[in-house]
Amino acid sequence: MTSFPDTISLASGYGNFTTPPAALQQATTLLQGGPLPLSPIEGLPALRAALAARYQRQGAAVAPEQIVVTPGAKPALLAVLKALLSPGHDEVLLLTPNWFGFQGLVEKAGGTLRTLPLDPATDYALDVAAVQAALTPRTRVLLLSNPNNPTGRVYHRAELAALLHLTRQHPQLMVLADEIYDGICFGPDRVPSLLEFDDPLSQHVVVSGFSKSLALIGWSVGYLVAPAAVARQCAAWQFATAAAVSAVSQAAALAATEQAESISAGLCAGLRANRERMVAALAAMPSVRQQLPQGTYYVFPDFRAFLNPALPLPAASADLAARLRAGGVEVVDGASCDAPGFFRISYAVPEPELREALRRLTAALPLR
């Protein structure tokens, strides 16, 4: 009989992925080859060239000097925000639901975070009119993620083009896209990058990494792509506050970049059965509403029917998360993503654990 922990976590942002063999081999070869090379602060030229070439194959005009390799995606986000924001004045408009970590990063960069909730009834469609109404003279950055964490929503070309038609009317506005899940996609079309769109005013910035779509969990390597002047500011910030990413991690990242499409395809193939199992389990739960996510390895079901109506919405959401935890399943309370009553649930776990977690989840949901 299989033994399970008292609490099964479906809350982690990391999958149960092993390091791709090509990445491991390239890192091992470097380690066995003598003294390690020292990287420039902006990253090894070979990795930056490979990243630029990957975007160029997708139709983006990206040069290596626009890329800064960072010790993970969060340092890349902080470097960009420090470069762009005037402390005490500038605002970041975040389209929500979105990753809970953005607020802390904006605050540490000296900015003010404002949120614009998107409507679950429209599958979180980009509402260009609402974005226009939310912009103020102090809005310096429009921040989104694609695919979206936590909803799994993928924004395709037509939606992004309509949004960017608006942002080009605001020259002071930068558009920052977190694209770290770009390779985890189950729809017929790949996830378009912000970098593929015309950028006549040099407004577009992308942050990404290797731990989600390319399985380099624990290797601490990410990157940013920005207009060259912004990239130089980010490199200067990294020089003043940290060090260049380890050459070993960059070697693994180079191998992963060179095989990105096949690595991501393998991860998606491995996730597909769990994805179908998760979606089927939610569909069988009474009163649960769930959009079928095209990207990431999360679902974001609407559990508002199970909330305690005697409590305020955020408190009721926290109360349900606590009850699920007491029932043996850890999930992410959507209140942390600006969507109380919704819950981010990962299916990037071993299949037996997912089966047991879904059994516990069903048993723990209160009858309504």
Q: What is the pLDDT of residues 168-222, one digit of tens each?
A: 999 999 999 999 999 999 999 999 999 999 999 999 999 999 999 999 999 999 9
Q: How far apart are CA 91 and CA 31, in angstroms?
A: 44
pLDDT score at 28: 98
Whether pLDDT at 299 is above 90: yes
Token pair recorded at residue 20: 């791709």
pLDDT score at 363: 95
Fold classification of 8-18+262-364 is: Aspartate Aminotransferase, domain 1 (3.90.1150)
C-alpha distances out from residue 258 to 26, 52, 171, 242, 253, Å: 11, 11, 35, 27, 9
Q: How far apart are CA 139 and CA 95, in angstroms?
A: 13
Q: How far apart are CA 41 and CA 224, in angstroms?
A: 13
CATH match for 21-259 among 3.40.430.10, 3.40.640.10, 1.10.10.10, 3.40.50.300: 3.40.640.10
Mean local confidence (pLDDT), 147-155: 98
**pTM of the shown model:** 0.97
pLDDT tens figures, 258-279: 999 999 999 999 999 999 999 9
Whether pLDDT at 344 is above 60: yes
- Where exactly are the structural domains of the chain? 8-18+262-364, 21-259
Token pair recorded at residue 133: 């109404």
**HEC sequence for 245-263:** CCHHHHHHHHHHHHCHHHH
